[in-house]
A and B are shown apart, each in its own frame.
Chain A
Amino acid sequence: MINKQCPTVAEAVADIPDGATVMVGGFGASGSPIELLHALIDQGATDLTVINNNTGNGEVGLAALIGNGQVSKMICSFPRSSQSKVFPRLYREGKIELDIVPQGTLAERIRAAGAGVPAFYTPTTVNTVLAEGKEHREFDGRTYVMEPWLKADYALIKCEIADPLGNLMYNKTARNFSPLMCMAAKTTIVQTKILVARGDIDPEHVVTPGIFVNRIVEVSDPIHEDVLIAEGRTYP
C-alpha cells in the first residue's frame, strides 16, 4: 500500500542538500509552509536557490531562512513589501542574488516545468527592460517573448487536507502557486493541517492529484505567518 506519510517535518526535509533549488508555496503570508521552513532552518542546508512570489515577512518563515544566510538566490516577482525587511537589507549588502520574474510568467514557467514543456511565448515584458536579451517571435502579427520552464529539486507546500496518497485540497487563496510547484519539483514535500484516510476526499474535489506529491507530514495546528508577525516572533 502506498503511504507517503512522513512522521515529522524534520524527517521530511532531512535530505535537502546544500545548493538545492527549492520552491516555496504561498503568496505573502497565505499558504506559506512555516513549519517546513523552520525545519529547513534547523536542518541548515545552505547556498539554496529559493523560488517564491515574495521574500517573506518579518523574521519568521522564508524571511528567517534568508536571514539565517541559507539562501544565495531568490527568484520572485515582488521582493518588497511593507513587512519584508530581511531580504532588502541583504540585497543592498550584496549578499543575495535576485532574479525578478513577472508574476504570471513565474507561474507559467513553473507550470511548464511540471507539464514537460521546455519553453513558451508570452506578450508579458515586450518592450520592457525585462525582455532584453530574450528571444522574440511574432505570432498573428503580435510580438512575444520566449520564457523557459522553471524546475526545482524540492517544493515545500502547505495544504488544508491531504490523504496518504498525496491528494490535496487547499484553503481559499492559500492555494496560489502551490499546485504548480507540486508538479514542477523532483521531490514535493507537503504539510497538511488535516490528514484523512484514503477515499475520504471526493475525487471530484481533489485539487492536486497525489502523483505530484512525494511526502506528506501532518501539522495539525499550523502557525500562520501573520500571527507570528503580529506577536513579534522570530525564528530560530
Chain B
Amino acid sequence: MSWTREQMAARAAQDIPDGSYVNLGIGIPELVAQFVPEGREFIYHTENGLLGMGPPPAEEDRDLDLMNAGKKYVTALPGAAYFHHADSFSMIRGGHIDVCVLGTMQVAANGDIANWSTGAPDAIPAVGGAMDLVQGVKNIYVITQHTTKTGDSKLVADCTYPLTGAGVVSRIFTDLAVVDVTDEGFQVVELAPGITFEEVQDKTGAPILPPE
C-alpha cells in the first residue's frame, strides 16, 4: 500500500525536530501542520509576514487581513509576530528558518529542484518566494507523488523543467518511499508498507540505492 497524502505529510513531520521554525509550501506540504508528533512544537513562518501561524479560522472569526502566502485565511497563535517582507525574507535568506517543505514538479538525484515553471512558451512565469526559500532555508524537504498522473517519474537524473535551485534538496517524501539525496545520488531510506525496492527503482528516473 502506498502512502496517502496525509501519511506522506505525517511521515515528513516525523523528521522535523522539536522547536524548529518551519515554512510549508502550498498543497500537500500544508498538511504537515496536522501531524506534529506528540511532545514537539513547530513554529510556522509564512512569507507574507507572520511567525506563529495557526490553523484556519472558523468563517465567522476570519480577519481579511490575516492570510498566509497561499492567500488563505489563517490565525495567529499566542506568541506570534508580524513583520514586513524584508524582515520575512531575512529570516529565509539569512538561514534562520530550519525546515522548508515544498511540493515539486521534478527533483533530481543531485538535489536540483524544478517547481516554478514548465518553461512552456505560453506559460506566464510566476516564481513567488520559491527561489529564496530553496537557497536560504537550512533543510529543504520535498513532498511529492513519486510519478506524475501520466506515470513519468518526478525523481529524475536531470531536471528538464527550469530550475528553482541547484543542489538544495536533502530529503524527499513520496507515496512510495522516503528518499535521501546523497553524494552517490538517490538512496531509499524507508519504503511505504508493501512497496518493494524494485518497484521504487522501476518508478524512479535515475539510479537509486537500496536502504542501508
The size bracket of the interface on A is 35 or more
Binds B, one of A15-23, A37-45, A59-67, A76-84: A76-84
Cβ contact within 8 Å between A172 and B86: no
Separation of A100 and B128 alpha carbons in the complex (Å): 9
Binary per-residue interface labels of chain B (18-60) against chain A in the complex, 1 for a CB within 8 Å, 0 otherwise: 0000000000000000000000000000111110000000000
Cβ contact within 8 Å between A103 and B162: no
Cβ contact within 8 Å between B128 and A173: no
Separation of A167 and B58 alpha carbons in the complex (Å): 33
Instruction: Verify if A30 is at the interface (C-beta below 8 Å from B).
Output: yes
Given A79, A108, A170, A174, which contacts B126 in the complex, CB threshold below 8 Å? A79
Binary per-residue interface labels of chain B (79-111) against chain A in the complex, 1 for a CB within 8 Å, 0 otherwise: 000111110110011000000000000000000
Separation of A193 and B49 alpha carbons in the complex (Å): 20
Given B82, B92, B136, B163, which contacts A172 in the complex, CB threshold below 8 Å? B82
Cβ contact within 8 Å between A175 and B132: no
A173-B66, A176-B84 are contacts. A103–B132 as well, Cβ < 8 Å? yes
Separation of A98 and B88 alpha carbons in the complex (Å): 24
A128-B165, A177-B84 are contacts. A104–B129 as well, Cβ < 8 Å? yes
Binary per-residue interface labels of chain B (100-142) against chain A in the complex, 1 for a CB within 8 Å, 0 otherwise: 0000000000001000000000101111111110011000000
Separation of A103 and B112 alpha carbons in the complex (Å): 20
Instruction: Verify if A206 is at the interface (C-beta below 8 Å from B).
Output: no
Cβ contact within 8 Å between A98 and B86: no
Separation of A162 and B45 alpha carbons in the complex (Å): 27
Instruction: Verify if B152 is at the interface (C-beta below 8 Å from A).
Output: no
Cβ contact within 8 Å between B128 and A130: no
Instruction: Verify if B67 is at the interface (C-beta below 8 Å from A).
Output: yes
Query: What A residues does B136 contact at CB under 8 A?
Result: 104, 123-124
Instruction: Verify if A227 is at the interface (C-beta below 8 Å from B).
Output: yes
Separation of A113 and B165 alpha carbons in the complex (Å): 26
Binary per-residue interface labels of chain A (157-195) against chain B in the complex, 1 for a CB within 8 Å, 0 otherwise: 000000000000011111111111000000000000000
Instruction: Verify if B65 is at the interface (C-beta below 8 Å from A).
Output: yes
Instruction: Verify if B166 is at the interface (C-beta below 8 Å from A).
Output: yes
Given B46, B84, B125, B132, which contacts A180 in the complex, CB threshold below 8 Å? B84
Cβ contact within 8 Å between A126 and B135: yes
Closest to B166 in A: A127
Query: What B residues does A107 contact at CB under 8 A?
Result: 84-86, 88-89
Given A30, A98, A122, which contacts B64 in the complex, CB threshold below 8 Å? A30
Query: What B residues does A177 contact at CB under 8 A?
Result: 84-85
Cβ contact within 8 Å between A88 and B50: no
Separation of A172 and B112 alpha carbons in the complex (Å): 35
Separation of A179 and B83 alpha carbons in the complex (Å): 10
Minimal beta-carbon separation of B115 from chain A (angstroms) = 11
Instruction: Verify if B71 is at the interface (C-beta below 8 Å from A).
Output: yes
Instruction: Verify if B145 is at the interface (C-beta below 8 Å from A).
Output: no
Closest to B91 in A: A104
Cβ contact within 8 Å between A31 and B89: no
Interfacial residues of chain A within 76-130, with CB under 8 A of chain B in the complex: 77-81, 88, 91-92, 98, 100-108, 110-111, 122-130
Instruction: Verify if B63 is at the interface (C-beta below 8 Å from A).
Output: yes
Q: Interface on A for B, CB 8 Å cutoff?
A: 27-31, 77-81, 88, 91-92, 98, 100-108, 110-111, 122-130, 170-180, 207, 224, 226-227
Residue contacts A-B, CB under 8 angstroms, 11 given:
A27-B67, A77-B127, A98-B124, A102-B131, A105-B131, A106-B85, A172-B65, A172-B66, A172-B76, A173-B82, A174-B65
- Sorted nearest first, the 9 A-B pairs with minimum C-beta distance are A104-B89, A104-B132, A127-B166, A107-B85, A103-B129, A174-B65, A123-B135, A28-B71, A111-B86
Q: Interface on B for A, CB 8 Å cutoff?
A: 46-50, 63-69, 71, 76, 82-86, 88-89, 92-93, 112, 122, 124-132, 135-136, 162-166
